[in-house]
Each structure stands twice: as C-alpha cells, then as structure tokens.
Structure 1
Amino acid sequence: MPAMALLFAVAWPLRADWTGFGDYAAVAEVSVEEDAVRVNLRLRESGLPRLRALLGRADDAPASDLAGGLLRIVADRQGAAEFEILKLETNTSGKDGTGVAEAYFEADLNLPLARRPTGLTLSPPDRAAKALGLVVLHRGVPVADLAPLSKPARLQLDWNDPWQSRFADAERVRRHTEPRSFVYVEPYEVRHELLLRLSDLLPRLEIAPVNPHRIEGEEREKLRQAIGTLLLRRNPLRLDGVEVTARLDRIEFVRYRRSGVETIADSEPLDSATAVVGAILVYLTERPAGAVELTWEWFDAAGTGRAVSLQRDNETFDADVTQRDPVFRWSVEEALDTPGPEDSNPSSETFAARPSGTADLPLRAAGIALAMAVGWRWRRRRLLPPGTGGQLILTLAIAGCVAFYPEIAGLCADAGRTTPASAEDPVKSELEALLHNVYRAFQMPEEESAYDRLAISLSGEVLDEVYLSQRAALLQRRKGLGSDGRVERVQVLTTEIESLDQESGRCVVNARWIAHGSISHWGHSHPRSTLYAARLVLSRAEDGRLRIAALAFADARKPQSVALSS
C-alpha cells in the first residue's frame, strides 16, 4: 500500500507568506558584506501601479525601470554610488518555495564598497509610506526585522561584532536577540529549541577550531558533538516540579534570511563571529505538562536578559530571564481554559455494553423502595383523591428507577435508533484512540519504544509499513530536512460500518477523520489540519484489544489540508 505513508505523515510542508511580502508592494533584503552591499529586490505584480505612481513613471513602465529607483544607499566616506544590476527576471508562477501566491519581478543589485564603512544611510523615494519593506543583514546577522522604510534610516556598523550593528532609529528592532529559547508544550512532549551564538559557545567547549573564521569538514562535526554534550548538561528543565532528562534531537548550524531561519549546508564554511547554533532538546511525557520551570545559566558579562517564549496550543507566553531571576516559570493556570487531548480523545469502550452499576445495587433498591413507601403512606392517610394512589405509587416507582438507574433513560433514547447506528459510537471512540496512539509514536525517537507504541494500535503488514515510514521520516528530520510536525488531536467525523462480527470482534468501517496539529521550527508555529478518508479493518487481538489490521484510502487522492476554526 504505497499510500500508507500519507496516513501518518507528520512533516507538513511549510507554506507561509514570504516574511510579510504580501503587506508591501516591494520588499528589499539588504546584505552588507566587506566588499559590497547586495540587494535582493522583489516587486509584486499587483503592486506595480503603486510603485509607478510613487516614482512618477508611465503606466506601462516595465518593472525593470523601477528596480533602480526604489532604494538609495550611501556609504560613509564614499558618497553616492549607482547599483550594478546583476539579475532581472520575472516569476509568473509565484512558486519559489517561499509561499508567494502571485507573480513578482525580482532583481539582484550590487553596490561595491571601496572600504569598510562605519555606517550606511538607506533612503526610500518620497512619500513611500508603507510601499517598500526592508530587512537588513550585516555579514549574515539580522540587524532589524522586516519593517516599512518610509524615511531615511541610519545604520551603524560594527565590523568586529556584527551582532552589535544597530539602526539609529529606535523603532527598528531585532526580535531575534541571541541567545533565545522557545519551549513548546505538547500533549506528550515538551520541546526546548535554542538559538545560540557560536561565538558564545566556543569558550565553553573543550575543543577549539583551528581557524574560527572558516570552520568546515570534520571540524564542523566534532563541534556539533561537543555542543550537544554541553547542552545536555546545562540549563535544566523541570516538569511538574520534577527535573527531567533531555534527549538531544538535533544540532544544526543556521542563519537568518528573509524567510526566517535556514540551515547552513555542510558544504559551506562557518564563521564563528556570525554563525548561529540551533539545538532541539526533547522531553517525553506520559501526559500534558501542567508546569514548566527552565533555569537559564548563560549570561554575558553585562548580565543581559535572555528572552524565553513558551507556546501551548495557540497561546504564546513571553518573558525575560536575568542573572537575578534566571528561572522561567509557567503553569497551566496561565493558559486559557481549552480542552486538552485527553478530553478530545475519550478512552475507548470498544463494543462493551453500558456499565450495570451492580456495585451500588443495595442503595438503588433502597431508593426505589423508599419512593414506593412514600406513595403508599400518602394513600393510607387519604391525602390523595380516590383512585389516584395506584397511579402515584407507579409514577414514584418509575421515577425512582430513572433516578437511581440513569442507564434506563439512555436505553430509552436509543430505542429509536437502528442497530448499525448504535454500534458506530463505540467504533468512533475506538478509532480515535487507535489513531491518536499511532500519531503519538511519531514523537518517540527510540526505535523499540516507537515500535511498541505502534503495536498497540496496528497489526500485520500495516504495522511493519507504518513503522518503516516513521523511521524514514525521523531520519529526514534529523538531517534537517523539513520542519517538525506534531499531531495533537484526532477528530473522527464519520464512521460507516460495512460489516460487524460480534463474536470475533472484526469490523470493516469506512471512516473520515481530521488530524489536527501544527508545524513548528525555531520559534514559528503554524496550525495544520488534514482530512483523511479510508476503509479500515479492525480486528480483535489475543489480548482482547482492537487493532487496525488493514487500511486503504477511499480514493487515490492525497489527504486534503483543511482550514478550520476549531
């Protein structure tokens, strides 16, 4: 079944707007290097009329005539200079891997530098308002987040430490102040993602690169291992008051670009002055964590506070830790009152009947007898009209039965339902539990634990195929390919039973369900909901539990991404 891999795929592709590209008619990414200022400029097709009016050009002026006039950069001690246009092209599909949904014009511009300037002045056209978006990097380090350039901006450059380069305008801020932590609280896992400057880590390591400005090859791998060993021992995290052991998920060398954080290819050398280390530590849990305490141990000489962001569902909690108060604390009481996965996935009752409540049978019988005695007493004292005593006794007896045996009301409500419909409710509950457990296995890095978890819900060829798919997905994630996907809740929409063998417990069912989850990476999280439709065979194993023994999708189409408010 080739389509089986689609069922439990949890690494959704990231489709997002190009860092707010849709908010502007054009966006410029300015990269300041030692020998030149390079600009990648993108002009949205729908924004061309606005840009033509801004620059006073004719209504039919091509985009190539606009590129050179949207941004003016003057370097200290060098004066004004003209851009060299290195590339001009049009993307009509809007599909460049960044999620841009419309055609755009792209230009690469180059401004040579005779010497390293102490500063730059960046100016837009007059009355630019919010037409031009600007993001600036100095030697690969983000100087400020994407923001509109509506007036001249002065950039002060620190060539020894690009992290200290700053805009004079206080409104231009860099959200990614390093180091930084992102903590994700998920149903069966707490994940701690760290973004750290390599220059801050090197003094704490037992190894030192031969050339810190060009780290490559075998040195990179040794550096990665040393950093992982260090991180597992530092910045302890407590869940529900208990210190827990971290599992190292990955170590990457990353950098910032207009589309966010991206991995630096192994073939590229690292510069310790600008490189960023991305690390992911995982803490597996048996239930959602109710309290988190993260103790931060690394501060610079100035004692600068460090930012920590915790995300749970769609809520984010931000705080700074300092040397005086180095502990980040969060508890579920701070969150909105939203149902957790345990509430959304009721434990299965399989095909068992409703509980009979025989444990409190004497109490229930006494209650019915009491109701009948009250009616008899009223009749003997002639407190009732003639002929009504029998009816009252019967009424009180029935009321007592319903009050002390509420199952009777449920049986009455089911009386008008057909047999197949009444059987679908436990099937739906059972299927939700089975599917949720399989998605849970994808969060387990150990092969044995993952297989054991899958074996609770699957059997036969389905078990082997899903297990192999899970291992392949995990390997890709460890290589840094794709973002992390997590399924948080399974919602079974419909179950239509084809056949049901009460004796063997074998059930063939056509089902539709939604896997609610999210993809997250380095501080960015996006909700994803995917709709599935399949024909499943549920069979009862020797231990009495139901398992998915076979599965086939209803058609050859891939699962659909759906946008839901829930």
Structure 2
Amino acid sequence: MRIDRLIPLVVIIFFISIPHNSEADWINFTGAELSSTIAEVYVEEDKIIVVLEIGDRDKEAFADLISDPGESADKDALERRKRFFKEGFVILADGKLLKGDVKLVEVRERVQRPSRYNKPPGGQKPSKYVTYVEIEYPLTNKPETLVINPPLDEKGYTNASIGFVVYHKSIPVIDFRFLAPGAELKLNWKDPWYSKFDNPNLKRHHSSSLMSFLYIEPFEVRHEILVRLKDMENWLDLGFKDDDMLGPDQKKIIETELTEFFLEHNIVEIDGKIVKPIIDRVQFVKPNLTGIQVLENSQEVEYLSAIVGIILAYAVAGIPQQVTVDWDMFSDKIQRIPANMIDPAGPFPYYLSPDDNVLTWNNYLKNFSMPEISELNVQDSMRNINIPVGTAVSLIFFIAIAWQIRVRNNKGEKSKLPYILLVITLVAGIVLYPFLRVSVTDHLPTTMVLNKDQSTFILQNLLKNVYRSFDFKYEEDVYDKLALSLDGDLLSDIYLQTRKGMEIEKQGGARARVKDVEIIEATSESLPDELGLKFHGVWNVSGTVEHWGHKHDRVNQYEAEITVKPVDGFWKITNIDLIEEKRVQPI
C-alpha cells in the first residue's frame, strides 16, 4: 500500500489538524460584518487610521468624501471633503473635531469576512465591489475619549448601513457592530486591553484576561487556560517591558516559566484524588474577529498584548464522577474568572471569585455510553441459523405416532390413545417453537458472499474501532486498540503516522474527536486467491475540535478499497487504498 495514500487517511481523518495560523470558530451573530459599508478604525499613539469599504447603496451618503478633487485641486471638491469631516463621518477626540486626510480612494473587491449569514439580517446582500478609502487623522496628544459618528440625514438618523470595528494598538476593542451616533470610547493608554465603549453592547467576545475551560471527555480530562502575560505579572516577574517584542527565544523562556507555574497552581482533583497534570501544550495566541488565533512560533508579538494558552491534560480510565479545580489566581484587577465546564452533554458556564473559587463538575450524564472498542468476531458477522429444537423433536414424535396410527388402521386395530398423543405432539410443537432454540453459525467458506447489511456491519464496526482508538492519550494505548482491528504492515504504518500526528498536535495542531462514522455505501467481494474480503466503501466521519471554549465541527467523506481478512477468528483490516477524500458541510 502506498504510504502517500495512507497519510491523508490517518493524519487528516484522525487528527483533523488546525495549523498555527488557523482560527477557532467564533462567529459574530449581529451580521454587521456584512453591512453595505465597513469601517475599520485603528487607534495608534500618533494617529487614527480609518479604512472604509463603501458599498454602492451608501455612495450618496459618502459622496462628498469620494469625489476626487483631481490634480487641479478642485476647490469645490476640497470644500465638500472638509464639510464631510465636520458633518459626515465625524471623529471627536476629547470633544474636539479631528481633521481627516484622505490617503487613498479606489475601487476594490469587497473583503470576504466570516459570517453565519448570507446577507445582513433584514437587509440586502452587499455589492461585490466597494469604494476603498484610507483616511488618516493626526493626533497631537493621546486622547482619553473618542466619539465616532456616522453620516446622518436631516432628521438625525444614520443614512448609511455601516458595520464597524475598532482596534487600539492592535487589540480589538469590539467585534463587528453597527455604527450609531454618540457612543464614547474610553481609551486606556497604559493598557489598551481595558479600552472600552460606554455602551455595553459595544464589546468584544474575548473580554477577560484570564479564563478557565474544563473539558471532561472519555479517557481524558483537560484544563485549558487563557492568560494575558501582562496580567501574569501579579504572580510572576517575567522581566519584560510593555513595548518589548517577543520572538522565538523569548517565547521559549516564557513558556518554560508558565509550565513550571501552572504545574503547581489551580490543583485538579479527580474523584477525590489530586492528579498530576501533563503539560499538553503552551501556545501564544491572540483574539481576533473570529475567535482565538494560534500564532506561528516565528511570529513576533508585543508583550503588552501577548496572550498564552495552556492546556493541562489528565488521563482517566473512562468518565469520572467528579472533577474539581481549586482556582487560586486572583488579583486586585481580576476578581471574577469566567469558567466553562464542557462534557458530552454540553457547556456549563460558571464564574469563579475569591469567595467561590472551586470549580466543581459532577457526573450527571444519564444516557451517555462509553465508546467501546472490541475485536469483531468472524462468526458474529456470518449467517446464523436458529433451530427450534423443541419443535423439531415434537415433529419427529408426530411423524412416528402418525405412522403407528396408519399401521394400526391397516390391521383393523382401533384405539383413541394414539390420536390423543398425536394432538399433544402437534400442540407441543407449536407451543415450543419460540423456545428451546439452538443457534448454529454458518461455516466460513472459501468464497464468501455478504449481503449489504453484513458488509455495512463489518465495515462500520472496524472503522469505528480504528477511530475510537485515538480517544486514548498515550501511544501504547493507541497501539493496543488499533491492533484489535488492524493487522500486518498496515498496523505499523498507521501507528507510525499516528506518532507524527501527535507531534503535529504538540506543535500547535489540534486533535479531532470523532463523534460518528456513517456508512454511505458498502459492497464486498471475496479475495480471489485467499480467504478474505475486499470492500468498496464510502463513509462520512463527523468530528469536533474543541479548545478554549470554541467548537469546530468537521465532516469528511471518504471512498476507499479496504481489504479485510480473518486473523485468529477476528476480522482485521490489512490494506486501505484511498480513492477520494472531500469535506462535507456539516448540517
């Protein structure tokens, strides 16, 4: 079997890896990111930069801005622009009007942004092309407040549909929201993380500098923590300044210090026993408009805005009955820690405080069953014949008595007893038919013919076994479980690829937990020269990647030729030839 065909089956299916620069799946529910016009505002120390994407429906509201004065410096056009900055798109810094300087105006294709909608709620689908405008507002000092007002009509209503977002020194202050007049942004120049609007609806989804996520899954408990380095100064002296840029070497030092710290803090107990964690990974991340983005190790990050994700793993035998986290990280600024407990039934949000600092998960799962991995007995998939022994014995007696009655009648002998016995055996045969049955399995012929149900049964059980093997944390456990359904070179090859997959995971990839395997098509034929079957299968694999409170669903479809042979009385996959793999959109 070609290894290059095996790699996508193992690494992509079993480890639906999310690379360093990919993002979690938080989606904005306002629909503002699909507005006809988009405004991105970047607040820096010496200037404010506004980037506008003006849709066709809003050109009239921005007509004074996008009219080009040309090389001749058309005075009328220049006056219209000045009026626009006074009466149109207005920015006030500490109550004073800022003067904008237009740097660029051109037609561009609209930037495609992640959204759960095809168009804004209640609105039309935005135009494909926009008028792109860059405006710069110089700052003579660092203002304490900003007010951003959209163009208004004569009645004081917004006359353009504008979705906007604001960054303060690269930190997003809000997610995409609709721009309305009057909202005041309070700027925290010492720590832009705490810059915020006075309107509580204008905020970002990732607003806390310290967060806790407790995952309870089969065979594993994970405690995942997001922490901002600046706030770690309450417990650790990391030795960096706010404007320091962190490269790979500095990151490694910080990761080592954080590893040592979190091994000793926020103690986890599982079923009443303190369990030592395994540091699964430590990664630099950053919040953005779609959730949490994992940064490349080579990517520099400013210390002031740096956020680190720590994942501590605890191997368990199955599903525990109780898990507790004794949270001990509070400060003058951090008095409330958002926490989330996620188990197979769903998320359970909680807030920790100095007076209520123990996060407790209890097992209230009612209908949850642990995934089972067991060898598939060859006889279990063969045709079974159930013989009703009681009925068969009654039939034999019935035939014998009937023969005796005929013989007696030929001799002229008359007696009621044989007729009574005949009726008794007939009734007994009918009554005993559901009972006293013996199941006899059909023998395993050299040439096997399976129906669709039998083919589906074998393929689904073997594939599920393989996928479930990756629920285990340790390599040796994964190998032992794979050996229940794989054999020969395939077992060794998949195991080696598994180890590579685990390395990808440690370096920033994310392991997917397979939730379901659905067989779409399964047919089989006997191998020509040996005992066994060759399946042609098409199946869907549903899996999820969950980290730091975000869930990413994946459904992949695979088509392959799979060779299955009986080994020591059990079906084992010995070869896989992948034909096609494609992503299927989750329902």
**Equivalent of 2:58 in 46, 51, 64:** 51
1:440, distance to aligned residue in structure 2 (A): 4.0
1:394, distance to aligned residue in structure 2 (A): 3.7
Pair 1:170-2:200 in alignment = yes
- Could you tell me which residue of structure 2 aligns to residue 496 of structure 1? 523
Letter in 2 for 1:11: I
RMSD (CA atoms): 4.5
- Could you tell me which residue of structure 1 aligns to residue 584 of structure 2? 561
1:550, distance to aligned residue in structure 2 (A): 0.5
- Could you tell me which residue of structure 2 aligns to residue 319 of structure 1? 350
With normalisation by structure 1, the TM-score equals 0.76
- Could you tell me which residue of structure 1 aligns to residue 261 of structure 2? 230
Residues 146 and 184 in structure 2, CA contact (< 8 A), matched pair in contact too: yes
1:83, distance to aligned residue in structure 2 (A): 4.7
1:237 aligns to what SS in structure 2? strand
1:525, distance to aligned residue in structure 2 (A): 1.0
**Equivalent of 1:90 in 84, 108, 122:** 108
- Could you tell me which residue of structure 1 aligns to residue 513 of structure 2? 486
- Could you tell me which residue of structure 1 aligns to residue 73 of structure 2? none
Once the two structures are superposed, residues 325-345 of structure 1 have per-residue CA deviations (whole angstroms, 9 ceiling, x without a partner) of 222233453x6x6655638x8
1:154, distance to aligned residue in structure 2 (A): 0.1
Residues 351 and 427 in structure 1, CA contact (< 8 A), matched pair in contact too: no
1:169 aligns to what SS in structure 2? coil
**Equivalent of 1:11 in 16, 24, 36:** 16
Letter in 2 for 1:80: L
Once the two structures are superposed, residues 175-198 of structure 1 have per-residue CA deviations (whole angstroms, 9 ceiling, x without a partner) of 321211233333443333211111
Higher relative contact order (CA 8 A, sep 6+): 2
CA separation of 1:192/1:103 partners in 2, compared to 1, >3 Å: closer, same or farther?
farther
With normalisation by structure 2, the TM-score equals 0.73
1:291, distance to aligned residue in structure 2 (A): 4.4
Q: Which has the higher mean CA deviation after the structures are superposed, 127-136 or 167-176?
A: 127-136
**Equivalent of 1:513 in 539, 542, 551:** 539
- Could you tell me which residue of structure 1 aligns to residue 210 of structure 2? 179
1:454, distance to aligned residue in structure 2 (A): 3.5
**Equivalent of 1:436 in 444, 460, 464:** 464
Distance 1:305 1:392 in 2: 81
Distance 1:252 1:187 in 2: 24
Once the two structures are superposed, residues 63-100 of structure 1 have per-residue CA deviations (whole angstroms, 9 ceiling, x without a partner) of xx9x99885422226522215435856347x6789999
- Could you tell me which residue of structure 2 aligns to residue 342 of structure 1? 371
Distance 1:145 1:157 in 2: 17
Distance 2:295 2:354 in 1: 32
Distance 1:463 1:303 in 2: 50
**Equivalent of 2:166 in 121, 130, 136:** 136
Once the two structures are superposed, residues 500-559 of structure 1 have per-residue CA deviations (whole angstroms, 9 ceiling, x without a partner) of 79x9862222222221111334322132221212111112345x4432211112x3x333
Pair 1:25-2:36 in alignment = yes
Once the two structures are superposed, residues 91-145 of structure 1 have per-residue CA deviations (whole angstroms, 9 ceiling, x without a partner) of 47x6789999894546554333221111111222334489322333323334333
Distance 2:112 2:179 in 1: 26
Residues 348 and 426 in structure 1, CA contact (< 8 A), matched pair in contact too: no
Pair 1:110-2:136 in alignment = yes
Once the two structures are superposed, residues 250-304 of structure 1 have per-residue CA deviations (whole angstroms, 9 ceiling, x without a partner) of 2122222223222344455444432211122223344345544333221122662
Residues 350 and 546 in structure 1, CA contact (< 8 A), matched pair in contact too: yes
Residues 517 and 540 in structure 2, CA contact (< 8 A), matched pair in contact too: yes
1:469, distance to aligned residue in structure 2 (A): 3.3
Distance 2:194 2:136 in 1: 24
Distance 2:89 2:438 in 1: 75
Distance 1:136 1:425 in 2: 58
Letter in 2 for 1:121: V
1:520 aligns to what SS in structure 2? strand
Letter in 1 for 2:556: T
Distance 2:428 2:272 in 1: 53
Distance 1:548 1:17 in 2: 39
1:311, distance to aligned residue in structure 2 (A): 3.2
Distance 2:60 2:370 in 1: 53
Residues 188 and 440 in structure 1, CA contact (< 8 A), matched pair in contact too: no
Residues 182 and 523 in structure 1, CA contact (< 8 A), matched pair in contact too: yes
Residues 350 and 426 in structure 1, CA contact (< 8 A), matched pair in contact too: no
**Equivalent of 1:213 in 240, 243, 261:** 243
1:322, distance to aligned residue in structure 2 (A): 1.6
Once the two structures are superposed, residues 184-243 of structure 1 have per-residue CA deviations (whole angstroms, 9 ceiling, x without a partner) of 3334433332111112223433x6325453153423211111102222222233445554
Distance 1:440 1:109 in 2: 55
Distance 2:496 2:114 in 1: 28
Residues 121 and 152 in structure 1, CA contact (< 8 A), matched pair in contact too: yes
Letter in 1 for 2:526: S
1:351 aligns to what SS in structure 2? helix
1:44-83 pair list within 5 angstroms: 48-52=55-59, 55=62, 71-76=89-94, 78-83=96-101
1:323 aligns to what SS in structure 2? coil
Pair 1:461-2:489 in alignment = yes
Q: Could you list the runs of 5+ residues in structure 2 that have no partner in the other structure?
A: 69-76, 119-126, 395-418, 443-447
- Could you tell me which residue of structure 2 aligns to residue 125 of structure 1? 151
**Equivalent of 2:555 in 507, 526, 529:** 529
CA separation of 1:50/1:327 partners in 2, compared to 1, >3 Å: closer, same or farther?
farther
**Equivalent of 2:187 in 148, 157, 166:** 157
- Could you tell me which residue of structure 2 aligns to residue 295 of structure 1? 326
Distance 1:471 1:77 in 2: 60
Distance 1:129 1:532 in 2: 50
Letter in 2 for 1:527: D
Distance 1:271 1:117 in 2: 22
- Could you tell me which residue of structure 2 aligns to residue 376 of structure 1? none
Once the two structures are superposed, residues 392-432 of structure 1 have per-residue CA deviations (whole angstroms, 9 ceiling, x without a partner) of 76445544441565979x99xxxxxxx8445x656544433
Distance 1:61 1:491 in 2: 58
Q: Which has the higher mean CA deviation after the structures are superposed, 424-433 or 109-118?
A: 424-433
Letter in 2 for 1:149: L
Residues 351 and 426 in structure 1, CA contact (< 8 A), matched pair in contact too: no
Q: Equivalent pairs: percent with the same residue?
A: 25
- Could you tell me which residue of structure 1 aligns to residue 339 of structure 2? 308
Letter in 1 for 2:336: G
Letter in 2 for 1:275: A
1:199 aligns to what SS in structure 2? helix
Distance 1:391 1:87 in 2: 102
Q: Could you list the runs of 5+ residues in structure 1 that have no partner in the other structure?
A: 370-386, 412-418
- Could you tell me which residue of structure 2 aligns to residue 549 of structure 1? 574
Residues 26 and 291 in structure 2, CA contact (< 8 A), matched pair in contact too: no
1:559 aligns to what SS in structure 2? strand
CA separation of 1:56/1:216 partners in 2, compared to 1, >3 Å: closer, same or farther?
closer
| Count of residue pairs brought into register by the alignment | 517
**Equivalent of 1:192 in 223, 233, 250:** 223
Letter in 2 for 1:466: I
CA separation of 1:507/1:301 partners in 2, compared to 1, >3 Å: closer, same or farther?
same
CA separation of 1:392/1:400 partners in 2, compared to 1, >3 Å: closer, same or farther?
same
Distance 2:114 2:197 in 1: 30
